[in-house]
Amino acid sequence: VGSRVVSPELVGSHVVSPSPWAHVWCHQVHGLTCGVTRPVGSRVVSPELVGSRVVSPELVGSRVVSPELVGSRVVSPELVGSRVVSPELVGSRVVSPELVGSRVVSPELVGSRVVSPELVGSHVMSSGLVGSPRSMGSPVVLPGQWGHM
C-alpha cells in the first residue's frame, strides 16, 4: 500500500512486473549514447494506472475493490462504476460506509462520505448536501447529472 510497484502475480497481464520501469542507460564514447532496457517479460503499465499508488492482484480483470485499498488516497479512474463489496473498506478513505455494496457513480465520490444511507442504490447527493435533502433545501442529484454539479 502506497507503493508504485505492482504485485508479481500481475506479470503477463495488462500491468507490469515488480520492476516495471525501464532502465535507461547512457555512456559517452564518441558523443553521448543512450538506450533503454526493459525487464524481460514485463509490460508497460496501462495509461489508466499511471500515477496510481495501489494496484493489487484482485483488481486485474475484476470489478471488485480489494481490501488492500483501505486507507489509500488513490483510486484509479477505471474503478468508477465498480461495486464496492469488501467489508474492510468500511470507514476508509476510499469509500464511505454507506457505499459498501453500492455503486460509485462519479469520481467526485471517491474518498467522500456524502451519500445518505437511504439513498444507496438510488439517488446520490452532491458533496454540499450532507444531511437530509429536505432539511438542506437542495435538490437531489441523479447519477447522470454530475456534469451539472
- Burial class from Cβ neighbours inside 10 Å (0-12, 13-18, 19+) for residue 83 reads middle
Q: Which amino acid is it at 102?
A: S
Calculate what percentage of the chain has a pLDDT beyond 70.
Answer: 0
Confidence class of residue 70 from pLDDT cuts 50, 70 and 90?
very low
**49/105 Cα distance (integer angstroms):** 19
The answer, yes or no, to whether residue 32 has pLDDT greater than 50, is yes
> Against a cut of 0.75, is the pTM above it?
no
Residues 82-127: pLDDT tens digits?
444 444 444 344 444 444 445 544 545 444 444 444 444 443 434 4
The answer, yes or no, to whether residue 9 has pLDDT greater than 50, is no
